[in-house]
A and B are shown apart, each in its own frame.
Chain A
């Protein structure tokens, strides 16, 4: 299992568009991927659940990945949170 923490720097936080991209990204992997904000954890496969966390700019989240392809999943997600997100 891999856990990684990120501070969201995108101005609008995780709104509908990045959430869409994030879900589609997560679908590419066999690993089970969850997102945690404060004490709430959700599976990274539901728009509603991601949006209901209301992740705003400047907030801290963590990603929990567990499964056979967790290494490649973590690389992809790392790129998403560090580079892609702020342009979405």
Chain B
């Protein structure tokens, strides 16, 4: 058995037989044209080939049996524009005219040059476009020679295509009834081939390097999630992957069904499921899992793994990158939450007896206004690229909110004076994670646009239990009636003052808590993206009256043991 590792670009597992496709590169003929007449004929041949290539693409576009998605059509539209590009024609005509090359050689020349230009670009996305240019060139050449497409051939069932590279148009023409996966020697995550494979749901691996060991009809396991390719695997591995495949297919199916479903209860109450993220790279998973925005962007990652504070520009780029991927959905940015258990090597905080009760989060920000204002300005600058909101962590009382808002105003003034754009109406909210904040939710609600309940810290502060201390970990219990009463009060006060309230702590992703929280009136949940489908599944199967009944009953129970036993009955 052989193993090859590549870049998994389209997730899923496929098991099948290899079909190795060797690429026949077009070679220049070297035949030169003799006179003006031949030159005119060569140009005419080129024009005709382009027109028939365009007809071919129109044909693929309207072929309903290929089941093309919006992305696929868009790629074909792009190819049509490439084909009719006046620059390509101008270049080809010039080569024909001055070098006296025949149409095929001229196309080969021009396309090779252009592919090289794209390959030399800095941007990975632009480099990947070289495959599109190559695709166009090959298509024109094929029509010049009247030869058919590689993929008009039919394959056996469960074929896994092994090739140096598969051009976007060939990927589109693949019949998914027969071809269940493909692996290529070259390619990148942003190639159109990868995008199409994903939209068609065919597991695919690119950038595998040498694939010479694979022969036709070899048995192949292709894991598009991990990027692993197993050639002629033993029986045990086959059994293992067969199981993995059915689990994956089942999950993918569920996810697909849930992805576009709105999180609405049976009786029509709409909730909102948001994601907790730490970096721009997490954004893709948010939407994949049906998230409707980001309920908590932790900014600590920006400050960690480095040896000095990030500059305003560095921070701006980080927030901007996230905002740009947000599709107009809200992004709640939590300001620096360092201190406590999160230390920075370049920021010398003295060792404290009780770091969780010490100099951390908003307390640092209100002391080191220089650090705070740098972050605020970066967030404000990025706020023109998406619906960013500012969230202050570790608030214990109203004075901190007022002080922080003053500094936010100062940041705005400084930006205005420098003539820099920002969203002047940016919303400001707070985390509710200190018991005093929960108990004074009625006061705080008048000062802010939203609350977000951080159950992890709220739980440890309310119960006086150190989360990190294993000896007392059994006391760390979000279902303690004391914690639940605080949560309920915060939700009620937010509703009364007509501000948003969400939960971004671990409890938001606990299936056992969903009905209880909904019954308390919570409609916004933020959690790790992968937890969203399971919680959504609970919500769409719930009746709000039932949830209210459950939460009312829970509030009459005297301890978490009884509460948990009761809630387990209703957990799907």
Contact = CB atoms under 8 A, between A and B. Distances in A.
Interface string A50-67: 011010111000000000
Contacts of A58: 320
Contact of B78 (A11, A16, A56, A57): A16
Contact of A12 (B78, B86, B125, B320): B125
A24 B78 CA distance: 10
Given A51-B129, A54-B122, A11 B87 contact: no
A58 B117 CA distance: 23
B173 interface: no
Contacts of B117: 52
B368 to A, nearest CB: 29
B82 interface: yes
A61 to B, nearest CB: 16
Contact of B86 (A15, A19, A46): A46
A51 B81 CA distance: 12
B126 interface: yes
A57 B85 contact: no
Given A17-B74, A19-B78, A9 B114 contact: no
Interface in B283-335: 320-321, 324-325
A10 interface: yes
Interface in A28-72: 43, 45-49, 51-52, 54, 56-58
Given A10-B324, A16-B78, A57-B324, A48 B132 contact: no
Interface in B109-147: 114, 117-118, 121-123, 125-126, 129, 132-133
Given A9-B385, A17-B78, A49 B125 contact: no
B158 interface: no
A56 B126 CA distance: 10
B384 interface: yes
Given A45-B86, A49-B87, A54-B122, A16 B129 contact: yes
B148 to A, nearest CB: 26
Contacts of B74: 17, 20
Interface string A1-24: 000000001111001110110011
- Measured as residues with beta carbon below 8 angstroms from the partner, the interface class of chain A is 20 to 34
A72 B540 CA distance: 48
Interface string B370-404: 00000000000000110000000000000000000
A56 B123 contact: yes
A48 B324 CA distance: 25
A19 B192 CA distance: 15
A7 to B, nearest CB: 9
Contacts of B75: 16
B87 A46 contact: yes
B88 interface: yes
A47 B81 contact: yes
B543 interface: no
Given A45-B86, A46-B87, A19 B81 contact: yes
A54 B78 contact: no
Interface in B29-78: 74-75, 77-78
A58 B81 CA distance: 25
B125 A15 contact: yes
Nearest to A21: B77
A43 B85 CA distance: 11
A54 B82 contact: no
Contacts of A52: 117-118
Given A54-B122, A54-B126, A11 B81 contact: no
Interface in B129-171: 129, 132-133
Nearest to A52: B117
Contact of B121 (A15, A46, A54): A54
Interface in B206-261: none
Contacts of A51: 118, 126, 129
B85 A48 contact: yes
B9 to A, nearest CB: 17
Interface of A: 9-12, 15-17, 19-20, 23-24, 43, 45-49, 51-52, 54, 56-58, 86
Q: Which 9 A-B pairs have the closest CB atoms?
A: A11-B324, A46-B87, A16-B78, A47-B81, A20-B81, A20-B78, A48-B87, A46-B85, A17-B74
30 contacts: A9-B324, A9-B384, A9-B385, A10-B324, A12-B125, A16-B75, A16-B192, A17-B74, A17-B78, A19-B78, A20-B77, A20-B78, A20-B81, A24-B81, A47-B81, A47-B85, A48-B82, A48-B85, A48-B88, A48-B114, A49-B87, A51-B129, A52-B117, A52-B118, A54-B122, A54-B126, A57-B320, A57-B324, A58-B320, A86-B324
